Structure 1
Amino acid sequence: MKTVIKYILLCLLTVNTVSAQENKESINLSNAEVTPYEVELTQNKTTHILFPSSVEYVDLGSSEIIANKVEATSNVLRLKSVKEDIKPTNFTVITNDGKYYSFNATYKEQPTQLSYDLTKFEKQNSKKQSEVLFKELGNTNPSLADLFMKAIIKKNKKELYIKSKNYSVEARLKSIYTQDGKLYFHISINNKSNLPYEVDYVSFKIKDRRTTKQTTIQEVSLKPTRSINDFQTINGQSKQDNVFMLDQFTLSDKQVLLIEINEKNGVRNQVLKVRDVDVINVKQIDRFSF
């Protein structure tokens, strides 16, 4: 009897296995396709593509086309073919905001269009646009990180009272927020003079608060992974805000974070000193209303 039962169970198991294999459907990857843009290239003329954000990565499907960024800007890509009548090919572009673009390129001696402005499609394609994750941003996608930074500037709340003033230029650290293992520093520069203020660089350094002659000064430089704007030239009687994203860190009571803002070819440098309690008491971004 036991033998019969085992035989019946074995038959049922075999039937179920075969049925499961027959009912198993393959995944159709056409539903996951990234719709490519169509671009015409030629040898004797240059094609330019304007992207909504800085170009970070370019991969060409063929050595018969060449591409490089325009030196004066970071979001314009120029392309052309190296010879006449090349075979159809493709290329891929990833921009700083995490957007993924696919292109099909064909040769045409006289292209109908030589300039493409993809910023015109940013709003209507924003929900459909494919997006990549940058390693330095962790689990936060670039567009969400930019949204966080824009929300911080829009909120414009003075959580901290850390400022520096030098020759009618005032720098202020308004707030620090945290989200997904990242710290967001909201910095504002107010140029109260009539002379333009050109920023050379902004640096973040952790230093020992007190040192003696016998003690070696410990210094650690921190590199922001992202910022919403670039401090460049702040005209007279005007103000600029920026948000810098850094990997999460903490300070001991013997350390201080120095945010240095240096003027290009000038002496109106600013230093913001951040204490350990300022970093520990940061607030979450997820309470914002976007």
Structure 2
Amino acid sequence: MKIIINYMLLCLLAVNTVAAQNNPKAIKLSNAEVMPYEVELTQNKTTHILFPSSIEYVDLGSSDIIANKVEATSNVLRLKTIKEGITATNFTVITSDGKYYNFNATYKLEPLQLSYDLTKFEKQNNKQQSEVLFKDLGDTSPTLVDLFMKAIIKKNKKELNIKSKNYSVEARLKSIYTQDGKLYFHISIDNKSNLPYIVDYISFKIKDKRTGKRTTIQEVSLKPIRSYSDAQIINSHSKQDNIFMFDQFALSDKQMLIIEINEKRGIRNQTLKIKSADILKSKQKSNVDYITIDSDTMILKDEGYII
């Protein structure tokens, strides 16, 4: 009996396989192909590729080529071969904005070009890149996160009155927004002095309020998932706005969020203190959405912001 049942299942599987092959509605995987860039590599010279955003992931199709991010940057990849006349291969790059890049690499003793600027290329050719989703962003695409941050910067609305001023430099938490389980902090640094302000680091810590001299203060450091800008220098008499994105959290009445902005080799440090009530008053932007105008143009419905 068991043999008969197994035979019937095998026949059913064979029928389904033939039906799928003859189904005119079957989708060919080639229709989903990510078109590759073509690049020539060599052993005695280094090829550099400039990406529009920070490089998050690199996978090489062969050990005959080597690739490294340039130490002083986050969006430049350098490549070369380990020997002459290697077999054609490929490599893949994913950037922090969720873009997926595929390259076909061939060997050439003297490549015609050694430097590639994909930022310039994509603007000129309106090339639409495939997009990936990052675990830390959940179901929200990196493109939509970027659009939302830009909309906050453009709106530039002062919802909160939390600020710190020291030696002609003022830091201000302008607003807090919430969207899809994330919190967005809009921080502005205004350098009114004659000297550039170089940011050493910006830290975010949840601390217990001091209730007594003998009370042990608990401290938890928070790391942003994303930030709008990586710029570290605010020139004299200029202002810089940034957005920091976190997983949603709440504070108790006995806790505070401390944001510390420290100057490199300086004393113009700033401290912003955020209470539980400030977090709970974060603005809900549940209607944030975008309309695709063409392959490279999107518009936020609620802000009228075009990118």
Cα displacement string for residues 52-111 of structure 1 (whole angstroms, at most 9, x for unaligned residues): 111111110001011111122111111111111000000000111111000000011111
Question: Structure 1 residue 278: deviation in Å?
Answer: 1.0
Cα pair 2:162 2:174 within 8 Å, conserved: yes
Alignment of 1:14-25 (within 5 A): 23=23, 25=25
Distance 1:263 1:174 in 2: 20
Q: Which runs of 4+ in 1 moved over 6 A?
A: 17-20
3-state DSSP class of the match of 2:259? strand
Cα pair 2:89 2:104 within 8 Å, conserved: yes
Counterpart of 2:229, as a letter, is: N
Question: Structure 1 residue 218: deviation in Å?
Answer: 1.2
Distance 2:57 2:39 in 1: 18
Counterpart of 1:172, as a letter, is: R
Cα displacement string for residues 2-46 of structure 1 (whole angstroms, at most 9, x for unaligned residues): xxxxxxxxxxxx9xx889665475431101110000000111111
Counterpart of 2:99, as a letter, is: K
1:284 aligns with 2:284: yes
Partner of 1:165: 165
Change (3 A) 1:127 1:36: closer
3-state DSSP class of the match of 1:113? coil
3-state DSSP class of the match of 1:279? helix
Distance 1:234 1:81 in 2: 40
Q: Which has the larger displacement, 24-33 or 235-244?
A: 24-33
Question: Structure 1 residue 280: deviation in Å?
Answer: 0.8
Distance 1:173 1:125 in 2: 39
Partner of 1:109: 109
Alignment of 1:94-243 (within 5 A): 94-123=94-123, 128-243=128-243
Distance 1:120 1:97 in 2: 16
Change (3 A) 1:118 1:177: same
- Tell me the C-alpha RMSD between the 2 structures: 1.9
Cα displacement string for residues 147-205 of structure 1 (whole angstroms, at most 9, x for unaligned residues): 11111111000011100011111000000001111100000001111111111111111
Counterpart of 2:161, as a letter, is: Y
Aligned residue pairs total 275
What runs of 5+ residues in structure 1 fail to find an aligned partner?
1-13
3-state DSSP class of the match of 1:210? coil
Cα pair 1:176 1:282 within 8 Å, conserved: yes
Partner of 2:6: none
Cα pair 2:68 2:77 within 8 Å, conserved: yes
Question: Structure 1 residue 122: deviation in Å?
Answer: 3.0
Distance 2:273 2:71 in 1: 36
Cα displacement string for residues 233-253 of structure 1 (whole angstroms, at most 9, x for unaligned residues): 111111111000011001111
Distance 1:97 1:263 in 2: 28
Q: TM-score, normalized by length of structure 1?
A: 0.90
Cα displacement string for residues 197-216 of structure 1 (whole angstroms, at most 9, x for unaligned residues): 11111111111123223321
Counterpart of 2:44, as a letter, is: N
Change (3 A) 1:190 1:122: same
3-state DSSP class of the match of 1:44? coil
Cα displacement string for residues 110-131 of structure 1 (whole angstroms, at most 9, x for unaligned residues): 1111111100133366672101
1:61 aligns with 2:51: no
Q: TM-score, normalized by length of structure 2?
A: 0.85
Partner of 2:9: none
Counterpart of 1:98, as a letter, is: G
3-state DSSP class of the match of 1:214? coil
Distance 1:104 1:20 in 2: 36
> Percent identity among equivalent residues?
76
Q: Which has the larger displacement, 79-88 or 135-144?
A: 135-144
What runs of 5+ residues in structure 2 fail to find an aligned partner?
1-11, 289-301
Change (3 A) 1:122 1:284: farther
Change (3 A) 1:209 1:125: farther
